[in-house]
A and B are shown apart, each in its own frame.
Chain A
Amino acid sequence: MFEIIEKKRLSPTVALFRIKAPRIALKRKAGQFIMLRLNEYGERIPLTLVDSDTVEGTITVISQEVGKTTGILGALEKGGAILDVVGPLGKPTHIEHFGTAVCIGGGIGIAPVYPISSALKKAGNTVISIIGARSKELLILEEEMQQISDQIYVTTDDGSYGHHGFVTQILQRLIDEETTIDIVFAIGPLSMMRAVCKLTRQYALPTFVSLNPIMVDGTGMCGACRVTVAGKNMFACVDGPEFNGHDVDFEELIRRNRGYFKEEKMAMEELTYHEGPRCYQQEC
C-alpha cells in the first residue's frame, strides 16, 4: 500500500497527491510517469510524476477526474492509500542547455510540463512558459510555473483570466516578435499539441510533446500505447512518453484514445449507480 501524505485540490476536478514511495522518489527524473492501481478491482492507469522529495520519500502526481478510476482517486484524502504504484517508467526528458525553451501546458498538461520546465531552468535555460485552461477556475500550478519561468503567459478559452484565447496565439505572437526560441515543449490535450506542432513545423522549431495513450502494464509488454511516430510504431511507455511532435500521428492517437468511450461511460454509470455522485461534483 502507498499512503497519501497530502492532498490538495487545485481546481474543481483536479487534485494533487503526495504519495509515500521513497524508492520511486530516489529515481524519478523529469518526464517520467507511474502506473497505479487503486484497489483489487482497479485498472492500471498512467500518471505523470510531477515532483519528488527524496528526504521525505514522496512522489507527487496530479490527476484530473475524467473517468471511474480518476474519480475514485479524486475522492481519496490524506491518510488514504493506493494499492499499487509502479515506476518511475518511461524515458526521462532529455535536458540540456538549449538556450531559450518555450514550455506550453494546457489544462491538466500543466502538471507534466512543470517538472520539465523546472529541470530546464536548473540546466540554465531561459524558460518562457505559456499555460492555458478552459477557464480561470481550471487553471493549475500558476504560482509554481511563475517561480521557474523567466516569462509567463496565461490564456483561458473563455477569457475569464489572462489572454482570451489559445496558447498557440501567444506562441504565434512570440514568433512574430522574433523572440529567440531554441526548443518547444508542449503538453496538454492532443488537439492542443497537434495545433502547437502544426505551428512550430512552419518555423522549423524543434518541438517535443508528451503523449498520454491508453496503457495497461506500462512496461512494454502489451502494446496498447503504440503510436505512429515518423511512420513507425512506437510504444509510448518504453520508447516515450516524449516524442518529436512533428513526427507524431495525432489523428490516429485521438481515435485510439476514444476506443473505449462506451466502456468508460458504462463504468461511470456503474459507479454512480452504486456509490452516488462523486464528491467533486458536490463541491462544485
Chain B
Amino acid sequence: MLSAGMLKKPAEQSAKLNMPRQRMPEQDPLERITNFQEVPYGYTEELAVIEAFRCLQCKDPKCVKGCPVHVNIPWFIGLIAEGKFIEAAWKLKETNLLPSICGRVCRQEDQCEKLCIRGKSGQPVSIGALERFAADYEREKATATFPEIPAWTGRKVAVAGSGPAGLTVAGDLVKKGHRVTIFEALHVPGGVLMYGIPEFRLPKNIVAAEIDYLKKMGVEFEFNAVIGKLFTIDDLFTEGYDAVFVGTGAGLPIFMDIPGENLVGVYSSNEYLTRVNLMQAYKFPEYDTPVLRGSKVVVVGGGNTALDASRTARRLCYEDVTVVYRRSRDELPARKEEIQHAEEEGVKFQFFTAPTRFIGDHEGRLIKAELVRMELSEPDESGRRRPLPVDGSEFQIDADIVIIAVGNLINPLIQHTSPDIEVSRCGNIIVEPSTEKTSKKGVFAGGDIVRGGATVILAMGDGRKAANNIHEYLTNSSW
C-alpha cells in the first residue's frame, strides 16, 4: 500500500506543493445518462493518499472553521496520508455522524475548501472527496465501531423528521445516554436525502447504511407518523417525552402563479424528484408509481434542486432538457460541480429567461412553454439588481414536461396543531439562534423548517447545536 511515509523530507514540502489536486474518476457522460448510478467513482486508495498528502497540516487550520460541525479535518486527512483509512473514518465520525453523505453533498467549495490555505495560490485540498473516501472505505470493510453508550439517563426525546437535522440530533443525544425516537411521515427514513437528492448524486444504499449505523447506536424510528396529525407536539409530552426537536424541513413547493401551471405535464421539482427517487418511478412498471416521460423538458430555477431535476429528466427523456433561469450564469445558486456535470450530460441553459405561461392541448396536456427575456433593473435600495421582463420579448418553445424548482415554503402541519410555537410571517419556526429553542418550553427546532431552503450540512449544524442544548435542558431542567 502506498503511504505518505514513502515520500521523505526534505523533498516533502516542495513535493506537496507541486502535487496537483486529484480528481475523482467519473462515469463517462454518455454512459451515465443511460443509468442512475453514481457519477464519480470515488478515489482509489492511491489517489486518496496522494490527495491527503497535499494537506499542509496547518497548526491553525482554517478549514475547520468553515465546517458547520467542526470536523477535525487535518487530523482525518493526516490519517489517510498514513494509509490509516479506517482510523480516518472513526475520527470523522467523532464529529460528523453522516460522513459518506456529507462527503458527497456538502458545498465544500463554500465551506472548508474555501478556507483551505492551499486555495490561496492554487487548488484547495479536495476535503469532500477525502471524507467520502474514508467513510466509504470503512463502510465497505464493515469495520464500523460504535461509541460507548452511557447508561440511560431516564430521559426521552422525540424528533420530528428524519432528515439531516433530525438524524444528527438523534445521534448526538443517544451518545449522551438519552432515549431518542424519530417520527418520520414517509415510509423510509432520510427525508430530503431520500426523496430529494437523486440516486446518481447520493446512492440510497449509502443513506440507508448511515441510518442503520444510528439504529445500531440505539436510535428508534417510527415511520408513517405525521407529527401534527397522528400526534401533536403536546401528545408527545403526554406520552412521556421530555423534549421535542422539530426538523420537518421545508416541504411545500412554491408555484409561480402563472397561467397553465396545472396542465398535465407541469410538475413541482418535489413531485418529480419524489416520484423518481422515493417511489422509484424510473423503474416503472416494475415499481407502481409512474412519471410522465417526454422528449422536451423545461426546468425552471437555478438551484441544486433545479439541476437535480434536469439531470434526472436527462436520464428519463430522450431529446432536450433546458434549464431556464432569470439571472446570469454567475448567479446560479447550484454547485459548480453540478452545473459542470449537467452540461457534460447535455443539459442546456437559457439565462435571463423566465416562463410567463404554459400552453396545453384540448386534453389539458402541456405542449408549449412561453418564456420571456429578463434584464437586470437599476440597483434598488439594498443595492441588488432585480431581473425584470423585457416587454415584447416573449417567445414559445415546445415542451411536454415542465419542472418548477423555484423553492419551498414551510409545511404548516405542525403549526396548525401547535399554535404556541411562534413562527415568522413565512411560516418558519422562530428559534433562539444560539440554542435552537422555540417559544414553546421543551421544543427545539432546526434545519429548513427554521432556515427555509438551505443545505444538508447547515441542518446538521443546527442539529448538533440543538442536541447540546437539549442535553443541557434535560440535565438541569431550566428553560
Chain A residues at the B interface, C-beta cutoff of 8 Å: 23-24, 27, 37, 41-44, 68-69, 83-89, 216-217, 219-224, 226-228, 233, 235, 238, 252, 255-256, 258-260, 263-264, 266-267, 270
Contacts and interface: CB of A to CB of B under 8 A. Distances in A.
Given A221-B251, A256-B262, A267-B285, A84 B224 contact: yes
A267 B253 contact: no
Contact of A263 (B186, B267, B290): B290
A221 B195 contact: yes
B230 A23 contact: yes
B146 interface: no
Contacts of B187: 37, 44, 83-84, 86
Given A222-B253, A266-B285, A88 B230 contact: yes
Interface string B242-280: 000000000111010100011011011011001100010
B378 interface: no
A219 B279 contact: no
A125 B469 CA distance: 52
Nearest to B289: A43
B310 to A, nearest CB: 18
Nearest to B270: A222
A2 to B, nearest CB: 9
A219 B195 contact: no
Categorize the interface residue count of chain B.
35 or more
Contacts of B363: 255, 258
Nearest to A221: B251
A256 B264 contact: yes
A89 B187 CA distance: 15
B252 to A, nearest CB: 5
A27 B230 contact: yes
A222 B271 contact: yes
A216 B289 contact: yes
Contacts of B223: 84
A44 B272 CA distance: 15
A219 B224 contact: no
A220 B274 contact: no
B367 interface: no
A252 B364 CA distance: 8
A83 B187 CA distance: 9
Nearest to A271: B285
A256 B292 CA distance: 13
Given A216-B274, A216-B279, A238-B411, 12 more contacts: A42-B288, A84-B224, A86-B187, A87-B226, A219-B413, A220-B411, A220-B412, A221-B251, A221-B270, A222-B274, A266-B285, A267-B290
Nearest to B293: A263
A89 B285 contact: no
Interface string B169-197: 00000000000000001110000000100
A84 to B, nearest CB: 4
A263 B293 CA distance: 10
A94 to B, nearest CB: 14
Nearest to A224: B271
A226 B260 CA distance: 13
Interface centre among A42, A223, A224, A258 (most CB of B within 10 A): A223
12 contacts: A43-B287, A69-B288, A216-B274, A221-B411, A222-B268, A233-B255, A252-B262, A256-B264, A263-B285, A263-B292, A267-B290, A270-B285
B255 A256 contact: no
A68 B286 CA distance: 12
B413 A220 contact: yes
- What's the dominant secondary structure at chain B's contact region? loop
A223 B255 contact: yes
B386 interface: no
B75 interface: no
B70 interface: no
B221 to A, nearest CB: 13
B279 A44 contact: yes
B229 interface: yes
B230 A24 contact: yes
Contact of A86 (B226, B267, B274, B279): B226
A233 B262 CA distance: 9
Contacts of B287: 41, 43
A232 B13 CA distance: 65
A184 B226 CA distance: 31
Nearest to B288: A43
Contacts of B411: 219-221, 238
A257 B476 CA distance: 55
A263 B265 CA distance: 13
A43 B274 CA distance: 11
B288 A68 contact: yes
Contacts of A84: 187, 223-224
Contact of B290 (A83, A89, A260): A260
B284 interface: yes
A65 to B, nearest CB: 15
Contacts of B270: 221-223
Contacts of A221: 195, 251-253, 270, 274, 411
Contacts of B262: 226-228, 233, 252, 256
A259 B275 contact: no
Nearest to A40: B287
Contacts of B364: 252, 255-256, 258
A23 B253 CA distance: 29
A86 B268 contact: no
Nearest to A254: B364
Interface string B397-420: 000000000000001110000000
B148 to A, nearest CB: 34
A28 to B, nearest CB: 10
A217 B274 contact: yes
Nearest to B256: A233
B271 A258 contact: no
B15 to A, nearest CB: 51
A75 to B, nearest CB: 15
Interface in B373-431: 411-413
Nearest to A225: B271
Contacts of A41: 286-288
Contacts of B195: 217, 221
Contacts of B290: 260, 263-264, 266-267
B271 A216 contact: yes
Interface string B77-107: 0000000000000000000000000000000
Interface centre among A42, A85, A224, A266 (most CB of B within 10 A): A224
Q: Which 8 A-B pairs have the closest CB atoms?
A: A255-B364, A263-B290, A259-B264, A222-B271, A86-B224, A43-B288, A43-B289, A223-B268
A88 B271 contact: no
A238 B230 contact: no
Contact of B185 (A86, A216, A259, A266): A86
Nearest to B196: A221
B253 A88 contact: no
Contact of B284 (A85, A223, A258, A263): A263
